[in-house]
Every structure is written in C-alpha cells, then in structure tokens.
Amino acid sequence: TSGAGAPAVAADADAAAAFESLATLQVGSFEGEADAVRGGLAQAGWLLDAPAEVPAAESLTRLWASVPGSGATSKHRLELLSIASSLVGALDVLSSDPTVAAASTRIGAPSNDIFGSPRTFFPVDITYTCRRAGSVRLAARFHGRLRHTSTSAPKVELWINKHCSARVRDGLSVGTSADALADVVRDGVSVWSTDTAVRRVLPASVSNLQLFFTLGAGQSASQHMDTPRVVITRLDRNLKGGSHDASQPRFWKRRLHAVVEMESQLRRSGDWGLAHSARDSNEVLTVRGGGGLGRGGLLQAASTWPPSVSAASALNMSLECINPGVALVEIELAPYPAYQPYRPVVVSFIKHCGTVVSGGFDIATRSLAPSAAAALGSGAGAMVQTADADLIRDGGLVGHLPGVGAE
C-alpha cells in the first residue's frame, strides 16, 4: 500500500515545490518593479476582467522577470539563468483569435544592474504579429516546472488586449518613373487595384517591372517595409495543345471577378493583404523581387518634394514566363510590422505569356480565297475568308497538319 501511494506523494510534493517557486517570481513593466506579478499573483491591470491595453503602434512589450539571488560570479549567473529557465522558460502566449493576432516570447540574459538588489532580473519580450485589423485577447502564462507530467502545472496568467489597425500609411507613394512617382500607390492607397487590373496588361515582351518608392516630406523620418509578397492566379483555361477558344477572354474576366469578390470579403473583415498561399498551382510565370527593397528595408522620408528618382528606393520585379497563358499578378507591399499600425497595400496587373499573334492571322493547308472585304476594295492586305483557314484562324490554333502520306 505504501508503495502504491509513493508516486502520488511525490507528485504532491512536486506541485508544492512548483507553487513555491512561482511564489518567488516577480514581473514588472520596468527593471526592479513588480507591477505585473508579485508573490506569484497577477496584479491589477493584467487581469482577465481588466487586461493591459497594447495599442496598434506597439509591436513589442518588454517585461522584467526576477528571481531571488544575485549573480556575483559568472558561475552563479549561470545557475540563476538555469533557475530562471525553470520559472520563466515555460512561458507561452495564447490568443483568443489567431487570425487577428498571435505572439511569441523571448527571454534575455540575466542582469544585476540595480545596485544592492537581492534579485536577478531577466528581460522577457512579447512580440506581436498582427494578421488583420481588430482586437484580440492574449494570455501570457508563466508555468511552474514539474518533474511529474501527470500533475497539472500551476501557472500565473497575464492578460493583454492587443489592438491591430488598418490605418493608411499617409505619404507612402509608389510610381513607375520620375514623371509618375504616385501612379501605382498614392498616399498609402493602391491605384493599381485588383478590380482595375484589366487596364494594365503587360505583353509577353515585357519581362521586368521597376517601381519607385517615396515617403512624403512631413511624415515620420522613415518607414520599414516588409519583403514584398506575390500571388499569381492563372486566369485563362489551360487547354491541351494550345487549342484556341473564343470564350477565353470572358473566362478569365470571370475568374478575375471572383478574385475581386474574395478580396472584398477579406477587406470587410479587416484583412488588407494577400491570401497566405497561391490560389492556382498551374503557374504561368515566376516573379522575383530585387533592388533596394527586393527583400524589404528602410524607406527614408524625402527632404524635398517632389523628390527625384535618385532619392527614391527601387523595387525591380523580374517576370519570367514558364508556360503560355494569362495570369493576374498581385504584389503585397506592407509597412513593417503590418497592422502595427499601418495596413498593407496590394498592387495588381495582368501578364500575358507565350507568343502573341494579332487577330486576323490565318494559315491553311490549301489556297485561300480573298475575303469579301478584299473584294470591296479594302486593299491588297485584306485577310481571307476564315472558313478556309483550317490550321490557324484569327491568331488561334484550330487544326493540325495531316500525317505524311495521308489521303
């Protein structure tokens, strides 16, 4: 009987030790403070019914956790770091809605900067990731470390209300040349919106697109930009053998309309970026970013306005066709960190890939009679009757060459 009760006694002792260790934990907003956790208990301003409010412009919260003891020697500091890991190392953050925001944590090196303090302090950073505009409740949980996993670990919970914003980044402009520094994005709003992409069709001959970023004078001195994200959506039907289909333009316009509708729903939910994965596996082209902002970077505000192209930061987009077809290309340009407080902006255009043949180009396996238009005097260059074109009609493939020796 005594042997059967030994594991339960050990577990109870383990839990008691964990509770005792948490009771020594202090957490504060500043080094030396204990306004968040004192004696293992969460304090006012960090409770479930009255959480700490973190505004959209704040992407990181630094807290200071402390444990008893002073690291007088490097060996002792390592021992304290081990103690802190047992107290603070089991720290996680839960989100009530990860589609709005989530958070990660990092524990820094121990510090004894406070003269005469009997405690060692450790910075604990909570870094927020906003995925759309809105507010979310987060719980930062300090767990007591248990040796027996069968028992429930005690924990201290700090409650945070994190806000994410969809503010427009005033002053952020993107253009295609020195004479048009805001024809793509103007004051943080896309001019190249997805619903107007049909106005911007890049032919097969265009393999590069250069964009120039500027930040208007009078704004903050700089703005970090995230690495551009690209989503490619095939619009045309992927017909076997390159067969011609007169309904293709209507088909890809319907697909474009479906994308616009989907993104409109995302905007209403506070999501101003792109979907987190490609919408179509049938890729037509690849897009790679280069230049000063190809991997994101710091955009400096212009000292004068209008700025020169030399003062602008460039983004070079390489467009490499890998299959014939028509695709919608969307590029997400996001102030970093996104929604803290500025929303991303999406610019869109349509790219043609493959040999482009103008309408009216016909090929046949037999002589072609002049068309009615030619008979009416439209000139020697008038095209033939399309009924006679049995290989290519009006620029589209309609037939195949017969086999050698075929009757």
Predicted local confidence at residue 116, as pLDDT: 58
Query: What band does 106 get if pLDDT is binned at 50, 70 and 90?
Result: confident
State the number of CA atoms in the 13 A half-sphere of 172 facing the CB: 25
Q: Which of 95, 53, 54, 57 is nearest to 335 (CA)?
A: 57
Is residue 391's pLDDT more than 70? Answer: no
d(CA 31, CA 33): 6
pLDDT digits over 292-341, tens only?
899 999 998 887 767 766 656 899 999 999 989 899 999 999 999 999 99
Predicted local confidence at residue 250, as pLDDT: 78
Q: Among 27-41, 119-133, 143-157, which is the least confidently predicted range?
A: 143-157
If you search the block for the tokens 């002589």, which residue do you land on?
367
d(CA 306, CA 175): 12
Q: Which of 26, 125, 37 is nearest to 84 (CA)?
A: 26
Provide the β-strand partners of residue 124: 63, 107
Whether 37 and 71 have beta carbons less than 8 Å apart is answered as no
Is residue 245's pLDDT more than 60? Answer: no
Is residue 8's pLDDT more than 80? Answer: no
Predicted local confidence at residue 397, as pLDDT: 53
Query: What band does 28 get if pLDDT is binned at 50, 70 and 90?
Result: very high
pLDDT digits over 254-271, tens only?
889 999 999 999 999 999
The whole-chain average pLDDT of the chain stands at 78
pLDDT digits over 270-284, tens only?
999 997 555 555 578
Query: What band does 155 get if pLDDT is binned at 50, 70 and 90?
Result: confident
d(CA 140, CA 226): 27
Q: Which of 117, 95, 116 is nearest to 104 (CA)?
A: 95
Is residue 44's pLDDT more than 80? Answer: yes
Quote the crossing angle between the two packed helices 74-88 and 2-23, to the nearest 10°.
110
Percent of all residues in the chain with a pLDDT value above 90, rounded to a whole number? 45
pLDDT digits over 52-103, tens only?
999 999 999 999 988 776 555 555 555 555 555 555 546 889 999 999 999 9
Predicted local confidence at residue 336, as pLDDT: 96
Predicted local confidence at residue 236, as pLDDT: 82
Predicted local confidence at residue 268, as pLDDT: 95
State the amino acid at position 93 in one-letter form.
Answer: V
Is residue 40's pLDDT more than 70? Answer: yes
